[in-house]
Structure 1
Amino acid sequence: MIFKWIWSILLIIFLLIPSQPAAAGELAEHLANFPHWEKLTSVKPATGDLVYPDWMAGTWQVKSTLVDLAAPLAPDILTPGFAGNRQQLNKSVDFLVRFIKVKPKISQSTIIPKLENPAEILVADREFNSLNLTKAYLGDDAVISTKVDPESPNRQITFLRGERQLVSIVTARAIETKPDGQFIATEVFQQLFKGGSRPYFNTVESTTAYQQLSTNSPQIIADQVTAVYLSPQDPDYFKAGSLPVALYRYQLEFSPISP
């Protein structure tokens, strides 16, 4: 039953991502092509941490709504939980997230967006964000904790009841800023779910476009697509090729809680 929620949990690991600039307009075009997606080829290896624009600083109440989903290779290939997630269509889930200012590590290769103060960068509070999301979907009793590797912001483990774990490792990403101020980020990560009869692997790509509004509620909206690809360990890997086996599109609304 846990697989019913794994794909939804992935959406907030979007709040964790430095990034390499993508070719002009590529990420926006990628979003516009939903549900006709293939793997991005312009993403770069993940190093350092994702730096967000200053207008995303603070604590936010997020309303996330699954507005569309697709299984491009159905009925031949379906991911666990896809049918169950269809029941979540047009239903919203609320949770808190926050973005904090930190001093960048000298060793990190971090690309800082224009107009940012390089002495201090804005990043996601990963443990706080991921823990709140998993509890929102699974319930307080189902989630023990979320830990980010102190040596790498790109590796995270979520500990669940019943000696189960979801391990997520960011491997590649890209960013893009449009002339209207829209901030778009893509990350690709490998995930491993442990605790079932056998480990389950896959590859996930999440692309999110954030737009600041002139209103307070919401103050930021976002369009996000999460694509699930088979990992090389899957027997259908070569059959799927560069196509995703599941796509989820979310609308996100951010209302400020504190500066």
Structure 2
Amino acid sequence: MLKNTFTRIIWACCLILLCLFATGEAKAGELSERLANFQRWEKLTSVRPAVGDLVYPEWMEGDWEVKSTLSDLAAPLAPEIVTPGFESNRQYLNQPISFKVRFVKSKVPATALKPIPVMNSKSVKVIADRAFNGLNLARAYLNDAVLSVRVDPKSPNRQITFLRGERQLVSIISGRATETTGDGKFIGTEVFQQIFKGGGRPYFNIVESTTEYYKLDGTNPVSPAIEADQVTAVYLSPQDPNYFSAGSRPVALYRYRLEFFRG
């Protein structure tokens, strides 16, 4: 039961919404090519250290109802190495999951540790309401097993999900890269470490998500205003006994279609 809950937590947290960062542009076409080569990822993409908070484009501001659908999944190293719960996740294929998210304007200096709400300033940027979004996302998959979500007041890149049974999932963002395409799409990659505490020995892994966002017409209220294509890869941490067998390759890949409707 604990292992099944853990894998559902990891899978849910892989859906963290990613987008633009103030610095750290990737080489032209690098992230686009990575998305096009789903199931053929061989290693983590190149990223820069995560400093400050994520900055989203202006058209992301506001309240949204997000519909997320798992459209494909792969275990590149199967049958030798398969992550716990991978096969059970097939039940979610083509099954949309909905949750609310919010993006707000705040003052976000490049080295800020805590956003300070300020208006009428060139430094005002659109950022995610991390605690609100994280709690809604986690509860969409885990229901009342999730007690709360807390973002470290000293760093927006460290988040803790508190679960029943004195368990915690700690997510620490370590690196990011972004890319802007010629047709106005925004692509972001984020790499984060996950530590699951509770019920015995802590479990570690590394997750990489690459997401392409594009703004739609948005005039029809029953149609999405934004769509996104996201690929999430799970890598083993050095603490895993299969780490050296896996090498730099991901052990699980998930592809999602995200649709944003005005809330």
Q: TM-score, structure 1 length as denominator?
A: 0.92
Which deviations, in whole Å up to 9, do the C-alpha atoms of 1:112-155 show, x marking residues without a partner?
xxxxx73201111111011001111011x211100000000100
Deviation at 1:41, TM superposition (A): 4.0
Q: How does 1:150-165 map to 2 (within 5 A)?
A: 150-165=153-168
CA distance in 2, matches of 1:237, 1:24: 31
What corresponds to 1:249 in structure 2?
255
CA distance 1:148–1:17, shift in 2 (3 Å) = farther
TM-align CA RMSD: 1.6
Could you say if the C-alpha distance between residues 130 and 250 of structure 1 is closer, same or farther in structure 2, counting changes exceeding 3 Å?
A: same
Letter in 1 for 2:10: W
CA contact (8 A) 1:131 1:146 kept: yes
User: Cα distance, 1:70 vs. partner?
Assistant: 0.3
Aligned equivalent of 2:172, options 148, 169, 172: 169
Structure 1 residue 26 corresponds to structure 2 residue 30: yes
Report the CA distance shift for 1:106/1:134 in structure 2 as closer, same or farther (over 3 A).
Answer: closer
Residue in structure 2 matching 1:42, options 46, 49, 52:
46
* Native 8 Å contact 1:149 1:155 kept in 2: yes
Deviation at 1:10, TM superposition (A): 1.9
Contact map agreement 2:6 2:196 (CA 8 A) in 1: no
Matches within 5 A, 1:1-259: 1-15=4-18, 18=21, 19-105=23-109, 107-108=111-112, 118-139=122-143, 141-215=144-218, 216=220, 217-257=223-263
In structure 2, do the counterparts of structure 1 residues 256 and 127 end up closer, same or farther at CA, with 3 Å as the change threshold?
Answer: same
How many Å separate the matches in 2 of 1:209 and 1:41?
15
**Separation (CA, whole Å) in 2 of partners of 1:16 and 1:41:** 15
Give the deviation of 1:16 after TM superposition. 7.9
Per-residue deviation, 1:83: 1.2
Q: Tell me the distance in 1 between the aligned counterparts of 2:159 and 2:20.
A: 12
Whether the 8 Å CA contact 1:15–1:129 is kept in 2: the answer is: no
Distance in 2, Cα, partners of 1:124 & 1:38: 30
Higher mean C-alpha deviation, range 234-243 or range 151-160: 234-243
Q: Describe the SS at the equivalent of 1:13.
A: coil
- The separation in 2 between residues aligned to 1:4 and 1:201, in whole angstroms, is 12
Q: CA deviation at 1:250?
A: 0.3
- Confirm or deny: 8 A CA contact 1:23 1:42 kept in the other structure: no
Letter in structure 2 aligned against 1:27: L
Scaled by the length of structure 2, the TM-score of the pair is 0.90
| 1:252 shift after superposition | 0.4
**Structure 2, unaligned runs of 5 or more:** 114-120
Report sequence identity in percent. Answer: 65
Amino acid at match of 1:183: F
- 1:242 is displaced (CA, Å) by 1.3
- What SS class does the counterpart of residue 128 from structure 1 fall into? helix
Residue correspondences, number: 249
Alpha-carbon contact 1:99-1:124 (below 8 Å) kept: yes
* Alignment gaps of 5+ in structure 1: 110-116
SS in 1 for 2:108: coil
AA matched with 1:224? Q
Aligned residue type for 2:76? P
Q: Which SS does the other structure have where 1:244 is aligned?
A: coil
